[in-house]
Structure 1
Amino acid sequence: MKLIIIGANGTVGSAISNELGARHELIRVGKASGDIQLDISDSAQIRALFARTGKVDGVVVAAGSVHFAPLNEIEEQHFHIGLNSKLMGQVNVAQIAQAYLHDGGSITLTSGIVGEVPIRSGVSAAMVNGALEGFVRGAAIELPRGLRINVVSPGLLEASVAALGSFFPGFEAVSAKRVGLAYAKSVEGAQTGQVYTVR
């Protein structure tokens, strides 16, 4: 299959690329690296990406920013970081991708453990992750041509423990291999409207 991986060089994106790259042709997309550069908060850039790649069999998104801060320090503009980037960026990829996917193609988005198990300073991430999962469940029953959509919710990756572990006290880290397999299940499997959690 020909797959677009958005956020391919990040921690999660690398796990995806390592798993799927052995079996499929990957177009690696990043904000400042990869085969093509893209800011997912800009719909015009998303349209330009698909115009350049043409028809594909699947698109995976592991990109988007959110603001981490205590609730009493977050203001409206801080919420908009996650809303405009991680939430609407991924929603817009899913909307635009439909015209460029072969029949039966797949869309895989990324939420995260904070949507289910909140952490201090993670209220914006919890909000965005929950919204992404709701979008996927709703979109799955309306997609045409046998298109499928799922979302992967990874836990704290082993590779991120040094940088982020202090925000996740008591959490058991997950391997990149297990995270990559969840994306493979979404891309290569048959289900739609699923939230694949990796804990």
Structure 2
Amino acid sequence: MKILIIGGNGTIGSTITAHFSRNHEVLVAGRKSGDIIVDIVDSGSIERMFEKTGAVDAIVCTAGEAKWAEFNILTEDDYYIGLKSKLMGQVNLVRIGRSYLNAGGSITLSTGILADDPVVKTTSAAMVNGGIHSFVQAVALEIENGIRVNVVSLGMVEDAYEKYKDYFPGHNPIPMHKVVNAYVRSIKGKNNGEIIRIYD
């Protein structure tokens, strides 16, 4: 299987890359490093990425950002960070990437617990995550060629615990093997339009 992982050098992406690289051909794309450089904010950059990869069997995205700040100080431009990057970046990966997927291939997007259980300073991020969930459920009804689209929604993962623990009081860190299994389920399973929630 030929798997493209966008954000494959990040906290979650590197763990997924290490797992799938054992038995599959994995291409890593990233904004600053990887086999291919891509900025998912720019649809032209996404097009150029796929022209380099050619046909693939699975597309995984663990990239995308959104502004974390108190609601009272968030500006319109602050909201556009998440809308252009994490939301439309992933939407465009589906919109463009479907043409580069082999029949029966899969696309796995990434969000997080904020869509269902937001914490302070996450108004923008929670909104974006929720939008992706709705998009995945809707696009699964129409996407063709046997392609499946799912989203993995994670709680605070173990490898990011020290960085984010103050934002998530009382939350249980998600073991990295559970993180990997969520992506395995999306890529190798038969589910389509599913929000794969791993929150505990």
The two structures have a TM-score, normalised by structure 1, of: 0.98
1:117-128 superposed matches below 5 A: 117-128=117-128
Partner SS state of residue 111, structure 1: strand
CA contact (8 A) 1:108 1:151 kept: yes
Q: What is the alpha-carbon distance in structure 1 between the residues aligned to residue 188 and residue 18 of structure 2?
A: 15
1:123-138 superposed matches below 5 A: 123-138=123-138
1:84 is matched with 84
Q: What is the alpha-carbon distance in structure 2 between the residues aligned to residue 150 and residue 34 of structure 1?
A: 24
2:144 is matched with 144
Q: What is the alpha-carbon distance in structure 2 between the residues aligned to residue 177 and residue 17 of structure 1?
A: 13
- For structure 1, which runs of at least 5 residues remain unmatched after alignment? none
Q: What is the alpha-carbon distance in structure 2 between the residues aligned to residue 130 and residue 23 of structure 1?
A: 33
Percentage identity across paired residues of the two chains: 43
Q: What is the alpha-carbon distance in structure 2 between the residues aligned to residue 89 and residue 179 of structure 1?
A: 22
Bigger shift: residues 10-19 or 129-138: 10-19
Number of residue pairs the alignment of both structures matches:
199
CA contact (8 A) 1:103 1:146 kept: yes
How far does residue 57 in structure 1 lie from its aligned partner after superposition? Answer: 0.3
Cα deviation, 1:110-155, whole Å, max 9, x if unaligned, reads 0111111010001111000000010000000101111000000011
Matched to 2:65, the amino acid is S
Q: What is the alpha-carbon distance in structure 2 between the residues aligned to residue 11 and residue 69 of structure 1?
A: 21
How far does residue 15 in structure 1 lie from its aligned partner after superposition? Answer: 2.1
1:105 is matched with 105
Partner SS state of residue 4, structure 2: strand
CA contact (8 A) 1:19 1:177 kept: no
Residue 189 (structure 1) aligned with residue 189 (structure 2): yes
Bigger shift: residues 13-22 or 156-165: 13-22
How far does residue 24 in structure 1 lie from its aligned partner after superposition? Answer: 1.2
1:27 is matched with 27
1:114 is matched with 114
Q: What is the alpha-carbon distance in structure 2 between the residues aligned to residue 151 and residue 171 of structure 1?
A: 21
Cα deviation, 1:60-85, whole Å, max 9, x if unaligned, reads 00000100001111111000000000
How far does residue 14 in structure 1 lie from its aligned partner after superposition? Answer: 1.4
The two structures have a TM-score, normalised by structure 2, of: 0.98
CA contact (8 A) 1:19 1:181 kept: no
- For structure 2, which runs of at least 5 residues remain unmatched after alignment? none
Matched to 2:172, the amino acid is E
Q: What is the alpha-carbon distance in structure 2 between the residues aligned to residue 185 and residue 16 of structure 1?
A: 12
Q: What is the alpha-carbon distance in structure 2 between the residues aligned to residue 145 and residue 196 of structure 1?
A: 22
2:48 is matched with 48
1:2 is matched with 2
Matched to 2:176, the amino acid is A
